[in-house]
Structure 1
Amino acid sequence: MFVITADQIDSRHDRDRAGDMMAALGARYGDEFALPPDQTSGDEIQMLITDPEIALNVILILHRSGYWSVGLGIGQVRMPLPASTRQASGEAFIAARNAVTRAKKADAHVAIEMPTAPQPVLTANQVEALLAMLLLLRQRRSEEGWEAVDLLEKGLSQVDIAAMLGISTAAVSQRVKATQFRVEQTARPAIVRLLENLDRSSSDKDTRA
């Protein structure tokens, strides 16, 4: 399973953003969470996810906001699940705690941890490095680039986007090219698969124990 622990960056000099982020994630993914986002302590939020693609999407949302250090813990969770995330426990939660501590000092403000397990194809640190590259690539996008990408992800064509924004199709194409959106589209399924492999590796460890 995947536990995400996110700690607000420089919260002493900013308002508490936990409530707004939890509401946004809940509205977008709702029942996709095994346990929904919960404010576990002060300016920190935590959630439990079973789907690696949803886990990656949540990390992308948190990182794009620019306000969070994000730790992803992968491993087993104590069953049965309690009513709230703050009551839950298990190795994935311990790993997420260690990960968010490291994330505070990382360039991309993200880290991945998992218990010692049978060697996967790539280690958690190696997958973390690939995820950091993707996040830092996205971080370079301009507001205009994000505007074009967001519309593309809603299913609009570049012709439709040009008409909506009042610019030429060529200008839209240049914006999209500058965002490296096609690179991200290729990388995201690969990272999801790698996260899935790490989760499976942690499950194999539990089975053999």
Structure 2
Amino acid sequence: MTMDQRASSRGPDRVTALIEGLVEQEADDSGRGIVRPFQRTAGDEVQGVVDRAETVVGIALSAARSGHWSVGIGVGQVRQPLPEETRAGAGPAFEYARVAVERAKHSPGRVAVAGPVVIGGSTDPTDSADSSTAAAVGDESSELLEAIEASLQLLAELEHRRSEEGQDAGRLMDAGKTQREAARELGVTQQAVSSRLRTGLWGESRRLASVVSGMLERVDRLVDGGGGSGG
């Protein structure tokens, strides 16, 4: 993943706060899937390697919620062995993330996804068996990438437009609170929490995020031929 701060010349440097927040989240969940930590690469840009789809989606939506970041997700392999420093990494995933973040700057929700559209096998049409398989896999990968990007852009717009009250209620639900517990913490009624979640389409957005995570896992397997990869 590559994230670039929006309007950085007109505001404070937000890179340090972003990285510290991601480090705190990773410490709270050792199975979070951040293979290499997010680091500043150049200017107001950060990059990290993640191998867990759920984490990729969560980070992308959190960044969208703030309104301060363009987010590029690159789906592909990384060159092994991975260096300790994220910025020293290489491979298709890094290259696709670079392509994606540039598109994200002019995309809905400021998020974009990039990856290969034809994967494996022969591209010679006379090599019918291998060629047909490769074409089918490439078609599925391309369709999945398009669906993932469109869904993430919709979710990102929703996250950014949700009211602060709805965000507060949603964050508590994400943390495992019940509506009654959230109401107590926010100092409102349970009915008010329910209304905020309903108005902000919190439940619907979380279901769609889960579907997107599943699609991202599927395209990652197609790209990598069954092995692990990073984004």
Shared fold per TM-score greater than 0.5: yes
Q: Matches of residues 107-146 of structure 1 in structure 2 within 5 Å?
A: 107-116=108-117, 117=119, 118-120=138-140, 122-146=143-167
Contact kept in structure 1, 2:96 and 2:114, CA below 8 Å: yes
Name whichever of 29-38 and 123-132 sits farther off: 29-38
Q: Which runs of 4+ in 1 moved over 6 A?
A: none
Q: Return the offset for 1:138.
A: 1.7
**SS, match of residue 109 in structure 2:** coil
Q: Return the offset for 1:125.
A: 2.2
Name whichever of 162-171 and 141-150 sits farther off: 162-171
Deviations 1:75-100 (A, max 9, x none): 01100011111100001111000000
Deviations 1:50-70 (A, max 9, x none): 111111111112111211000
Contact kept in structure 2, 1:120 and 1:197, CA below 8 Å: no
**SS, match of residue 46 in structure 1:** strand
- How many residues end up aligned between the 2 structures? 203
Q: Return the offset for 1:191.
A: 0.4
Contact kept in structure 1, 2:145 and 2:219, CA below 8 Å: yes
Partner Cα distance (2:101, 2:46) in 1 = 11
Partner Cα distance (2:26, 2:87) in 1 = 19
Query: Which residue of structure 2 lines up, in the alignment, with residue 193 of structure 1?
Result: 214
Query: Which residue of structure 1 lines up, in the alignment, with residue 130 of structure 2?
Result: none
Query: Which residue of structure 1 lines up, in the alignment, with residue 172 of structure 2?
Result: 151
Query: Which residue of structure 2 lines up, in the alignment, with residue 18 of structure 1?
Result: 15
**SS, match of residue 119 in structure 1:** helix
Partner Cα distance (1:160, 1:19) in 2 = 32
Q: Return the offset for 1:162.
A: 2.5
Q: Pick from 167, 172, 194 the counterpart of residue 193 of structure 2.
A: 172
Partner Cα distance (1:183, 1:205) in 2 = 30
Q: Pick from 27, 36, 54 the counterpart of residue 24 of structure 2.
A: 27
Amino acid at match of 1:35: R
Partner Cα distance (1:167, 1:79) in 2 = 52
Amino acid at match of 1:191: V
Query: Which residue of structure 2 lines up, in the alignment, with residue 5 of structure 1?
Result: 2
Q: Pick from 182, 185, 191 the counterpart of residue 161 of structure 1.
A: 182
Q: Return the offset for 1:134.
A: 1.2
RMSD: 1.7
Q: Return the offset for 1:205.
A: 9.4
Contact kept in structure 2, 1:119 and 1:201, CA below 8 Å: no
Taking structure 2 as the reference length, the TM-score comes to 0.83
Amino acid at match of 1:180: L
**SS, match of residue 140 in structure 2:** coil
Instruction: Work out the percentage of aligned pairs sharing the same amino acid.
Output: 35
Q: Pick from 199, 205, 219 the counterpart of residue 184 of structure 1.
A: 205
Contact kept in structure 2, 1:37 and 1:85, CA below 8 Å: yes
List alignment gaps of at least 5 residues for structure 1: none
